[in-house]
Amino acid sequence: MWPPADPEPAGAPDGPQTQSLRALLPTREFLCSRKGRLLLGESVLSFIIFICYIASTAAPFLTVPLLMFLLALCFLFGYFMKINEKFPGMCWPLSDFLRCVTAAIIYFAISITAVSKYSDGAAKAAGVFGFIATIVYAFDFYVIFNDLSKFLKQGNSANDTEAEKSEEEDSNSDSD
């Protein structure tokens, strides 16, 4: 029989089902981070654009925002569950960078087409939101690119110092 006959009082502690469902939601700390806000913004914009394309005559373009929405949700889930740390074999920053670059390029192209070719309001709204999404995705890949370049510079400087130390040890052993 649904709902249960004796509902729990409002002040009762959460049951195990509620706690397990909360584990699937992003934490406030992650959502307040720059990456969390960017991924949340990308997924919300992609969903809005998807809805606009459903309501417009530019229906052939609705596949792109749907795929970008799902990919943004996958990366949002992956980052806040720290799957990127559990599976280091996959290059998460590079795949996230490629996702953002392709999304920005494709959103820019279909937004230009939606605004210039279609005359209904929903297509124009989808185009405007697409331009905004292009900016958000471009900012995200800019941030990822800067993080990757800093990481690679640190890696090169660490390799250079190790190479210098090994050269010094080799030169010291030759002089004996």
3-state secondary structure of 1: coil
Sign of CA dihedral 63, 68, 73, 77: positive
Question: Can you give the pLDDT at residue 131?
Answer: 96
- In this predicted structure, what is the pLDDT of residue 171? 55
pLDDT in tens, 27-69: 777 777 888 889 899 999 999 999 999 999 888 898 999 999 9
Reported confidence tier of residue 112, pLDDT bands at 50, 70, 90: very high
**Length of the chain, please?**
176
Average confidence (pLDDT) over 60-83: 89
d(CA 168, CA 39): 47
Q: Mean pLDDT over all residues of the chain?
A: 80
pLDDT of residue 35: 85
- Domain spans of the chain, in order of start: 31-162
